[in-house]
């Protein structure tokens, strides 16, 4: 549905592109996730860099993952201070929390081992 809205030139298509990238990441479709995150024009938003870092890290694109992680940390330096509560506060289910926490670790973010 979002891909269709993007094709029709929806006003918020930049947001939709980022959301499609995240959806592909969560479905473990790395090649589509990379394709869509590269199309996203959301660099003014810190969350773009977080999602990009997760996608690039899982896809083995270390340089891109590090650059995205660095940009995110520059924009949100205290985000991981209480990361154990962050996914719960955003109403992610247990599976999605686990995917994002593992992805954050793999991307090199300062996520503690006890974060569930």
Tokens of 111: 């996520």
Whether residue 91 lies inside any domain: the answer is yes
Rounded alpha-carbon distances, angstroms, from residue 98 to 3, 45, 74 = 26, 23, 24
Residue 95 or 6, more confident: 95
Give the domain range for residue 20: 2-66+76-106
Whether residue 9 lies inside any domain: the answer is yes
Whether residue 80 lies inside any domain: the answer is yes
The angle at the Cα of 50, spanning 3 to 105, to the nearest 5 degrees, equals 120
Predicted confidence at residue 112, as pLDDT, reads 72
Whether residue 71 lies inside any domain: the answer is no
Looking at the structure of the chain, the number of domains it has is 1
Q: What is the pLDDT of residues 59-105, one digit of tens each?
A: 999 999 999 999 999 999 999 887 766 655 566 788 888 898 899 99
0.75 surpassed by pTM: yes
Whether residue 61 lies inside any domain: the answer is yes
Whether residue 114 lies inside any domain: the answer is no
Rounded to an integer, what distance in angstroms lies between the CA atom of residue 81 and that of residue 92? 19
């Amino acid at each position: 549905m979002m891909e269709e809205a993007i094709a029709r030139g929806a006003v918020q298509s930049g947001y939709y592109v980022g959301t499609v990238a995240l959806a592909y990441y969560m479905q473990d479709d790395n090649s589509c996730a990379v394709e869509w995150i590269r199309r996203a024009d959301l660099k003014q938003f810190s969350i773009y860099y977080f999602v990009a870092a997760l996608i690039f890290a899982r896809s083995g694109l270390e340089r891109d993952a590090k650059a995205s992680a660095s940009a995110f940390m520059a924009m949100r330096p205290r985000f991981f201070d209480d990361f154990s509560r962050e996914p719960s506060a955003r109403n992610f289910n247990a599976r999605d929390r686990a995917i994002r926490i593992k992805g954050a670790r793999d991307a090199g973010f300062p996520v503690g081992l006890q974060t569930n």
